[in-house]
Amino acid sequence: MTYNPETYWSRVGQEIEKRAGDNVIAGDDNPYYSYKRSKFLCQFLDTIDFQSKTIMEVGFGPGGNLRHIATFHRPELILGADISQTMCDVARRNLRSFRNVRLTKIDGTHLPFEDRSIDSSFTVTVLQHVTDAAMLEALVKDICRVTRDTVVIMEDIGQCEQLGGGGSFIGRTVGAYENLFTKHGFQLRETRFLNTKVSRRWYDFSWRAYRRVFAHDHEGDRINFLGKVLIGLPLILTRGLDDFLTEDQNLAKLTFVRKS
């Protein structure tokens, strides 16, 4: 089946809606992603200056990042753009207590905002799922058009130099993203990696085992208790090693600033 990002993420949104409790993680509901998210919030999201600014997240999913920012960083105005109407509906429920949030469904390429009307824009594991080169080019161009100062992308970095490809994911190089943003007036200021190498390797092994046994085949599906134990218990040991084994791939924070 041909990958369609709107259909794909709406399907994930439907699975998220089935979960009990706090539904703010777009990926699979498992201990590794919970650990990775806590580290991401501390080392990546909380290091961005959002206070008293107009900010935008492209691909906000169920709204967890925007809710965290609204709660702890006090921006002036929060804008969100997402390709999935289902995700928009989930996020609106998660953000209903905040009056300075405006969420918009987009077509994946165009943003309904004025030129340089947003102080800071960011993405979190979104561009890596835009595998159509033309769509990626158009989206990045529009992000740069509407952003005044800073764009921060937090994406999984791999070895692919190409912008486009098949499937639902591309692990592009830092250079591929740098070339794309440079073309539209932004220069790379900082690159940081999250460093989850040991825990991720255990997760990859345990996840394959879980999928074989329980036929889990779609992102966003719920994971049963045994799966959470299988994945989660060894993290008590592996997460202590992650900061000592640095890496130059997987989740990175790339900060771009507008050229003067």
pLDDT, tens digit (0-9, with 9 covering 90-100), for 129-144: 999 999 999 999 999 9
**Tokens for 58?**
């492209």
| Buried residues in 79-91 as b, exposed as e (16+ CB within 10 A) | bbbbbbebbbebb
Choose among 247, 220, 213: nearest CA to 13: 220
Could you give the maximum distance between any two Cα atoms of the chain, in Å? 55
Find tokens 């609106």 and name the residue. Answer: 92
Residue ranges in the chain modelled with pLDDT below 70: 1, 19-29, 215-222
What pLDDT is attached to residue 32? 87
CATH class of 5-194+247-258: alpha beta
pLDDT of residue 111: 98
Strand residues in 159-203 grouped as ranges (E): 186-193
Distances, alpha carbon 178 to alpha carbons 134, 140, 170, 200, in Å: 17, 11, 15, 26
Any idea of the CA torsion for 157, 108, 29, 34, to the nearest 10 degrees? 50
Q: Name the 3-class secondary structure at 184.
A: coil
Q: Which one, of 224, 144, 157, lies nearest residue 184 by Cα?
A: 144
Q: Residues spanned by CATH 3.40.50.150 within the chain?
A: 5-194+247-258
Q: What does the alpha-carbon distance between residue 166 and residue 116 come to, in Å, rounded to a whole number? A: 33
pLDDT at residue number 247: 85
Taking the whole predicted model, whether its pTM rises above 0.75 is answered as yes
Please give the mean pLDDT across all residues of the chain: 91
What was the pLDDT predicted at 38?
Answer: 92
**pLDDT score for 226:** 77
What pLDDT, on a 0 to 100 scale, did the predictor assign at position 141? Answer: 98
pLDDT of residue 109: 96
Q: Which two tokens stand for residue 218?
A: 């779609």
According to the model, what pLDDT value does residue 206 have?
85
* Residues in CB range of 111: below 8 A, 6 or more apart: 56, 58, 81, 142, 143, 145, 146
